[in-house]
Amino acid sequence: MGIAIVTGASSGLGREFVYQIASKEKNISEIWVIARREERLKELTARVDVPIELLPLDLIKRESIDYFIEYLKAQKPQVDILVNAAGFGKIGSYSDISLLDSDNMIDLNCRAAVDMTVAVLPYMKRRSRIIEICSTAAFQPFQYLNVYAATKAFLYRYSRALRIELLPRGIHVTAVCPYWIKDTEFIPKAKHSRDGRKIRNFIFAGRAKNVAAIALNDSRIGLPVSTPGPVCFIHRIVAKFIPHEIMIWLWELIRRL
């Protein structure tokens, strides 16, 4: 029996993955949960039956990654599942979003996800699984969500290529690309900028429970991409055939509704 590691586990989709891994993944003996807010992580210990290892780390900080690498060396775990769910976004134009927020989005959504993946890979074996939380925003450029969408495009392509590299080892990588999720902190935090109303509605937004359930199942059967909902599934297909310039202007109409 091995362990699962979940980043961004203090809230939203990351926390839902912890719940569902604990209840559905029978071969997991322990879950390592990683996030900045230690008090939120402690709440998980009372809500799941699987032992929880708390790692209150801020993955934007290089020293947190270094600490985690040394922790892995000391513990030498067998990692069966890695879920990279840590991430955040900001809505607004280039002038609305601070350089610090832009840098932090790139660091957390891209660098930290890569760092965590590379750090964990030596402790994985055949049939281990990596779940990278991307977004339907990875499928095209999105004005007023431009840095976030670009970071998710990076992670999506990284995941697709890494999957091929890991085929000889029998390790599965799944890029999960959900649409908006209504019952997490993501939308309220993304709108908390000088002009968060550049995107006015989030119609057809899904729920974290459904997204996590579909993503785990898709990972279990080895799918390279999980589009956990009808909107992101249609978006993925349409974006393959319609030029991005047209998709950008379609988005310009949709975001104003």
- Domains of the chain from N-terminus onward: 2-254 (3.40.50.720)
pLDDT value at 196 more than 60 = no
- pLDDT tens-digit series, residues 140-180: 999 999 999 999 999 999 999 999 999 999 999 999 999 99
Residue 17 is encoded by which pair of tokens?
């993955």
Calculate the CA 104 to chain-centre distance.
Answer: 15
Average pLDDT over residues 110-130: 98
Can you state the percent helix, strand and coil of the chain, rounding each to 5?
A: 50, 15, 35
Please, what is the end-to-end C-alpha distance for the chain in angstroms? 50
Per-chain mean pLDDT for the chain: 94
Average pLDDT over residues 8-26: 95
Distance CA 128, CA 217 (A): 14
Instruction: Give the pLDDT score at 194.
Output: 62
Instruction: Give the pLDDT score at 149.
Output: 97
Distance CA 34, CA 84 (A): 10
3-state secondary structure of 54: strand
- Within 10 Å of residue 141's Cβ, how many Cβ atoms? 15
pLDDT value at 197 more than 80 = no
Determine the length of the chain.
257
Q: Can you give the pTM of this predicted structure?
A: 0.94
- Paired sense of beta strands 129-133 and 172-176, if any: parallel
Helix axis angle for 99-106 and 146-165, nearest 10°, is: 10
**In the block, which residue shows the tokens 């450029």?**
141
> Would you give the DSSP letter of residue 185?
S
Distance CA 191, CA 52 (A): 32
